[in-house]
Amino acid sequence: MPRIMRDLQPRERRLGLLAAIIIGGWMLLAGVVEPLWHDVRAATSLVEARTEKLQALNRLMEEAPAIEREYRAAAPYVTAEEQGIDAVLSELEALSRNVALPLSLKPRQAPGAAGTGREVELEIEGPQEQVLRFVDGLFGMNRLLVIERVQLSSVPMADRELRASLLVQVLRVP
C-alpha cells in the first residue's frame, strides 16, 4: 500500500476510492462509451439510408419491364440526337406547305433546359380554316413536343383571317 494511503483514515480511504471510481467511470463513459454510442447511431442511420435506397432500387428493377414497354411506346415521339432540331423544323415547314401558308420560325435554346430541348417560336397567318388545320397538324405530330403557348387572334381589317403564335419546346432524351 502506498504511503499516502497508509496515512489516511479508513473513512478518507473510502472517499478517495469512491472519488477514483467516479472519475474513472466518467473517463470511461466520456472516452470510450460515448464515441462508440455515436458510431453505432451513425452506422444505424447509414444502414437505414442504404436499406431505403436498396428497396427503391428493387422496386425500380421490378418495374423495369413496364418502364421499357412505356419507352418503346413513346420511342416514335422521341427526337433522335443525330437528327436534332433540323428534322423538326423541316417537318414544321412541310406542314405549313401542306396548308399553303407562310410560316415564321424562330428557334432558340430553351431557358434552363440544360441540353434537353430547344424552343421554337412559330407564327402563321392566313384563312381561319388553314390556320386551324396547321395547328391541328402540329398537335398530331409524331414528336415529343411541349406546346407552352398558343395564341390565336383575329387579323384586324381582315374577315375570317387568323394569326397563330405558338411556343413549342422540342424535347430529346439525353
Closest CA to 28 of 16, 37, 15, 39: 37
Closest CA to 74 of 169, 168, 144, 138: 144
Average pLDDT over the chain, rounded to an integer: 83
Who wins on pLDDT, 130 or 87? 130
Who wins on pLDDT, 10 or 39? 39
pLDDT at 126 over 70: yes
pLDDT mean over 102-118: 71
> What's residue 86's pLDDT?
75
- Under the phi-then-psi rule, with left for phi > 0, alpha for psi from -120 to 50, and beta for the rest, what region is 97? alpha
> What's residue 53's pLDDT?
93
> What's residue 112's pLDDT?
60
Q: Which of helix, strand or coil describes residue 160?
A: coil
> What's residue 116's pLDDT?
55
Neighbours of 99 (CB within 10 A): 19
pTM, two decimal places = 0.49
CATH H-level superfamily of 84-171: Ribosomal protein S6/Translation elongation factor EF1B (3.30.70.60)
Q: Which of helix, strand or coil describes residue 158?
A: coil
> What's residue 146's pLDDT?
84
Please report which confidence band the pLDDT of residue 82 belongs to, taking 50, 70 and 90 as the band edges. Answer: very low
Give 83's DSSP letter. T
pLDDT at 29 over 70: yes
Give 70's DSSP letter. H
Please report which confidence band the pLDDT of residue 78 belongs to, taking 50, 70 and 90 as the band edges. Answer: low
DSSP string across 10-44 = HHHHHHHHHHHHHHHHHHHIIIIIHHHHHHHHHHH
CA distance 79 to 152: 27
| Strand partners of residue 79 | 172
Who wins on pLDDT, 168 or 79? 168
> What's residue 9's pLDDT?
84
CA 102 to chain centre: 38
pLDDT mean over 96-101: 90
Who wins on pLDDT, 2 or 103? 103
CA distance 154 to 127: 10
Output Rg (C-alpha) for the chain, integer angstroms.
37
